[in-house]
A and B are shown apart, each in its own frame.
Chain A
């Protein structure tokens, strides 16, 4: 068993060595912004190997791995600097459709999600509905075979790249706010959709606001029953939490931070020897080990995915990631200050980099990931959930 897993680890490592170009890995690892083509290309490579849709059942094209295999795969990918795929389609839309989609919907969407030819975004938050997601107002009114949707969605990551959006809409205002929510699949080419870019703290464009003006969505693109969308979403959110925890990414960031702290000098000695920096590193390393141990216990017993552990991992994993990214920016010293927007997208090319190679994206990357403790259920919501389990 242990030997099989070791063999599997080497197989993954060999694949990454063969298929992942060192330049792309370095760009991804350092936090440079990858293009849609680069991300798509990497998804294609994984798709051809059959190593995509890790949580999908085998009949839908998943690799049918054990929890430990998934763990090893994610771990090796993070260590190798593989691009982080956009998982809105693969994890959220995929899980939704596999569990609750009609045969027609599955046929239309699952294969293109898997091979990356269909990109998805998620229409959840609204200007007035952040952590209190169920208070959403974007309204859908039935008109014959269609729903007519009016309202706005915000923080919609990669809406400008997307072919489809899975949308939470209000179809009933009568009872409990959770009971009037419906899930619709929205073709982004439909008339009446406006996508407004939102520029993030990193100076870059990944977020958007959607304005929906009498958008007519066929009733056949509804998932599950009308007004029953909230219960369906709860099933999707547990796995999102564990992947949002990003323990694998944090491990890779830690290794990188240690290397950087050995190369940077402070007062004539490597930064890693500065007592305070060193102690903070040590603490992050201990926290990382503890979280990895807890993650493994969740993988060994997936019933914990909807329990206290998933909230714990999301809360502490994102904290850890944010602190590591802050320290990488800190290590860059003065070179943490300059902003080179073009470089973040395209790299330095033939130009000589200004400052150490890791420095240009260090602070923008840190700023970008301030979102990880806010999105997918803010960390305060995670505390609410843990407290609810403990205190009732």
Chain B
């Protein structure tokens, strides 16, 4: 079903596009990546003032009450400008986990601060040996006194270096890959026993391995009910997929537009590159796949809101698989058609490829999501 944007949605799209065009030029992005923090604090506050950092939260928790479809509109703009600020970690993963698992008091405490940009959260759900199975949890949380003792390691926790608080999944019961027995805990990064090994990512962001060695937490640091976090984690990762789908589409259109601009300027053999049919047809195919990715991302966002069960799951995982596979082809060809300039780090188009690759590797890659998709489509089963 085709749905026109509401006036609020048009406004969100336009204001994001305008702000980023004026304030987030590629050279500015390069400066931000090279900075110590790896993100721009004053811009982050401005994101908060514009209501972006509370977009998916209800108004009573300082948010603007938007849907995941609204989030994808913002993410498209982020994708085009390759915004590196930790929106996905803090707002989508951290914020929505608190929204899904936290008590009313907990939401009151954290969400308005996330929304204003005064506080950042990261979510450690992956582990070194677990691949894309978020239920494969080896980190253990044992009862200890009135609280818990955590031991284990979380892998590639996006946005952790700049986060004030970390949420992790840990096993309070059940066997290693059981859905039952997984719990969520929240703690400050400065908690004794917590070590962050921070690093850059290929796409210009920051992440960390989080080591937990005899970390003592109070009972009030358990987020939600003990042992029943799996559905919440699954739901948050679903929202994560929807958000990065929007972002990927923005990056793909950005890569296609950049290529078009370049072919219309660059000359070889005495003619503009844009006059060669071999290249023209490639651009047409790149656009087509970006447009199909866009269509599937839209279907996924609407399914997230309106569908349930297998239909919802397969719409989202199918789109993620398609964007992973065909999106990579588009981004690789954007690099190819530019020639050598595109394999330099100072030129934008290779950064689209990097982000597309990074997006494929989060919340399940092509292989993982295609498997999930095939299980969910009734015609195939």
Interface residues contributed by chain B, number (CB under 8 Å) = 33
Q: A390-B284, A391-B274 are in contact. Are A293 and B2 (CB under 8 A)?
A: yes
For window 336-381 of chain B, which residues contact chain A by CB distance below 8 Å? 370, 373-374, 377, 379-380
Query: Once the chains are docked, how many angstroms separate the CA of A293 from the CA of B318?
Result: 15
Q: Quick one: given A293-B2, A293-B299, are A390 and B292 in contact (CB under 8 Å)?
A: no
Q: Is A159 an interface residue (CB 8 A)?
A: no
Q: Do B298 and A390 touch across chains, with their CB atoms under 8 A apart?
A: no
Knowing A286-B318, A290-B295, A293-B298 are in contact, say whether A278-B374 is a contact too (CB < 8 A). Answer: yes
Given A286-B322, A392-B274, are A296 and B379 neighbors across the interface (CB < 8 Å)?
no
Q: Are B296 and A312 in contact (CB under 8 A)?
A: no
B263 interface residue (CB < 8 Å to A): yes
Interface pair A391/B380, CB less than 8 Å apart = no
User: A173: CB under 8 A from chain B?
Assistant: no
Interface SS majority for chain B = helix
Residues B276-323 near A (CB distance < 8 A): 277, 280-281, 283-285, 287-288, 291-293, 295-296, 298-299, 318-319, 321-322
Question: Cβ of A391 and Cβ of B280 under 8 Å apart?
Answer: yes
Residues on A with beta carbons closer than 8 Å to the beta carbon of B34: none
Asked if B264 is at the interface of the complex by the 8 Å CB criterion, the answer is yes
Whether B295 pairs with A255 at a CB distance below 8 angstroms is no
- With contacts A258-B379, A316-B292 taken as known, whether A300 is within 8 angstroms of B281 at the C-beta atoms is no
Instruction: Check A294–B292 contact: CB distance below 8 A.
Output: yes
- Which residues of A are found within 8 Å of B377, using beta-carbon distances? 282, 285
Interfacial chain A residues near B318, Cβ < 8 Å: 282, 285-286, 289
Q: Does A129 contact B (CB under 8 A)?
A: no
* Shortest distance from the beta carbon of B236 to any chain A beta carbon, whole Å: 24
**A294 is contacted by which of B284, B291, B319, B373 (Cβ under 8 Å)?**
B291
B 223-262 binary contact with A (CB < 8 Å = 1; else 0) = 0000000000000000000000000000000001000100
Q: Nearest Cβ distance between residue A183 and chain B, in whole angstroms?
A: 30
Residues B260 and A278 in contact, CB atoms below 8 Å apart:
no
Q: Which of A281, A286, A287, A390 has the most CB of B within 10 A?
A: A286
Given contacts A258-B380, A391-B263, A391-B264, contact A383 B373 (CB under 8 A): no
Q: Establish whether residues A300 and B379, one from each chain, have CB atoms under 8 Å apart when the complex forms.
A: no
Q: Which A346-392 residues have a C-beta within 8 angstroms of B? A: 380, 382-384, 386-387, 390-392
Interface string of B97-111 (1 = CB under 8 A from A): 000000000000000
Q: B1 contacts the other chain (Cβ, under 8 Å)?
A: yes
Contacts of B298 in A (CB 8 A): 293
For A287, the closest partner residue in chain B by CB is B292
Interface string of B179-212 (1 = CB under 8 A from A): 0000000000000000000000000000000000
Asked whether A290 lies within 8 Å of B281 as measured between CB atoms, the reply is no
Interface centre among B283, B370, B379 (most CB of A within 10 A): B379
B321's contact among A286, A308, A312, by CB below 8 Å, is which?
A286
A-B contact pairs, 23 of them (CB 8 A): A258-B379, A258-B380, A278-B380, A279-B370, A279-B374, A281-B380, A286-B318, A286-B319, A289-B318, A290-B295, A290-B296, A291-B292, A293-B2, A297-B2, A299-B2, A315-B288, A383-B281, A384-B277, A386-B284, A387-B280, A390-B256, A391-B264, A391-B283
Chain B residues at the A interface, C-beta cutoff of 8 Å: 1-2, 4, 256, 260, 263-264, 274, 277, 280-281, 283-285, 287-288, 291-293, 295-296, 298-299, 318-319, 321-322, 370, 373-374, 377, 379-380
The 8 closest A-B pairs by CB, nearest first: A387-B280, A293-B295, A290-B292, A386-B284, A296-B2, A290-B295, A383-B284, A258-B379
